[in-house]
Amino acid sequence: MGLIGVVVLIALYFFFNPENHFFPKCIFKQLTGWDCAGCGSQRMLHALLHGDFAKAWSYNSGLIVGIPIIAIMFISSAFRDKVPRLYKFLNSRTVIIVILVGVVAWTIGRNIF
């Protein structure tokens, strides 16, 4: 999994600039015309990998905030036996609902403002 992730990131960095190349648009955006929570994440990652933080922020600021959270969730599930309390906390109903509300609020917010 990690290897695939690294390969994808390297490919994004060197060969692929989503601003120039054809890139399939998110199905949600195609059908509704609205940005979904993840729209712009490829461009954001590309900009972030090239160190252009301001540009990355403009493409998908919600996901930049979300990346550390997703990383922690991923690590806690991979090492569930070692950090049982962290895992239990992150997968509790309250935390999941907070994440859900965050994602939905970010989606609505980015389409309004």
Q: How many residues does the chain have?
A: 113
Site mask for another protein (CB under 8 A), range 5-34, x = bound: -----------------x-xxxxx-xx---
Site mask for another protein (CB under 8 A), range 42-81, x = bound: ---------------------x--x---x--xx--x----
Place of tokens 């712009």: 40
**64 and 57 in contact (C-beta within 8 Å)?**
yes
Q: Least separation, in Å, of the C-beta of 10 and another protein? A: 18
- The burial of 36, by beta-carbon neighbours within 10 Å (0-12 exposed, 13-18 middle, 19 or more buried), is given as middle
Q: Which two tokens stand for residue 35?
A: 């940005």
Number of residues binding to another protein, judged by CB under 8 A: 30
- Residue 90's CB is within 10 A of a number of other CB atoms, namely 17
**Which spans of this chain sit near another protein (rule: CB under 8 A)?**
22, 24-28, 30-31, 36-38, 41, 63, 66, 70, 73-74, 77, 88, 90-93, 96-97, 99-100, 103-104, 107
